[in-house]
Amino acid sequence: MTARLLALDLRRGPAPLLALAMLGLGGALVLGAPGGCDGRWPDAVLALRDAGWIVFPCVLAAGVWRGGSARRRQLDDAITASPLPAWRRSAIEGGAIAIAGVATFVVLLAALTVTGGCTSGLLAGRPAAAALAGVLALLAAAFTGLALGRFAVTPMAAPLALLATLAVTFVAGGWSGGSTDAMLLFPAVGEDVTPRQLTVRISAGQILWFAGLAVSGWLLASRFPARFRLTRLVPAAAGLAALAALNPGAAG
């Protein structure tokens, strides 16, 4: 039943539109970038991670839109009465968005690897960890967006979340003279970062942070009607603590 519902959500939810938008935007950014990856796979991973500044907010907005759909359609009561547990419904709704995001990430990485001939250092530990952090960031965006959508009372929440995330990424990142340490909280890596700087330690911290954020988002979204519980933020807080512990500079 879960697989059937997931397939239905993948077809009829915002997932196909998201995948299309990500393919277009990510493709324009990554495949259209001058210079390419110079035959090195770590550079390909870095290019794709850097596209996170635009891809992460898109996935988040799709999650917000999906999270608020029950309220917009006035289906809250029907959903509360359904025998499907809320945590499974959230997993399905967030999962469809996450699948669209992650599948597009993998497709773009494969396309860049093949078309750019970026095979030197293929699947090496450091870039593989960075790629995994990018995938988990999309998972976190999908479930955090879903939770935000559950709590948002206005349909304007999706575009506002998208633009706010984008603005925060710009302000926090190296683009506007901000701190590169602050960028560890985001999937985008900043334009001055080289593959060598993206160490396994940094990626491990980001993996834990994004995983914690995803779990918190899922827990917060797993309730009809939405109710805020501080304890559901514990996984995100633990992930943040792990990120700070692994990268002491990020805590300051």
Partner 1 sequence: MRLVTLHARARRAGEIGWGLLGVAVACWALASFVQDTGALVQVLGPLAVVSLLGFGLGGDDPALERTMPQRWARWRAAELSVCAIAAAVALAPALLQADQHALAALRNLAGLGGLTALGAVALGARLAWLAPTAWAFTGSAVGPRAEDWLAALTWPAEAADATSALVLAALLAVIGAVLHMRHGSRVIPLS
CA–CA gap between residue 108 and residue 110 (Å, rounded): 5
89-97, 126-134, 172-180, 189-197 -> range binding partner 1 (CB under 8 A) = 172-180
Residues in the chain: 252
> Does residue 21 interact with partner 1 by CB under 8 A?
yes
Q: Which is nearer to partner 1, 21 or 46 (CB)?
A: 21
Q: Are 30 and 47 in contact (CB under 8 A)?
A: yes
Q: Cα 16 to the chain's mean position, in Å?
A: 16
Question: Residue from 114, 156, 237, 251 that binds partner 1 (CB under 8 A)?
Answer: 156
Contact mark string toward partner 1, 35..64, x via CB under 8 A: -------------------x---x------
229 binds partner 1 (CB under 8 A): no
The interface mask with partner 1, positions 98-137, x = CB under 8 A, is: ----------------------------------------
The C-alpha atoms of residue 62 and residue 249 are separated, in whole angstroms, by 32
Alpha-carbon span 46 to 52, nearest angstrom? 10
Give the one residue of 25, 182, 185, 234 binding partner 1; rule: CB under 8 A: 25
Q: Can you tell me which of 6, 10, 19, 29 binds partner 1, judged by CB under 8 A?
A: 29
Contact range with partner 1 by CB under 8 A, out of 2-10, 20-28, 82-90, 130-138: 20-28
List the Cα angle 123/201/131 in 5-degree steps: 35
Q: Using CB under 8 A, pick the residue from 138, 162, 188, 220 that binds partner 1.
A: 162
160 binds partner 1 (CB under 8 A): yes
Residue 107 burial class via C-beta count within 10 angstroms: exposed 0-12, middle 13-18, buried 19 and up:
middle
The CA distance from 31 to 192, in Å, is 19
Query: Could you tell me if 13 and 96 are in contact, meaning their C-beta atoms sit under 8 angstroms apart?
Result: yes
Instruction: Yes or no: say if 211 and 132 are a contact pair by the CB < 8 Å rule.
Output: no
Q: For binding to partner 1 (CB under 8 A), which residues are involved? A: 17, 21, 24-25, 28-29, 32, 54, 58, 72-73, 154-156, 158-160, 162-164, 166-167, 170-171, 175-177
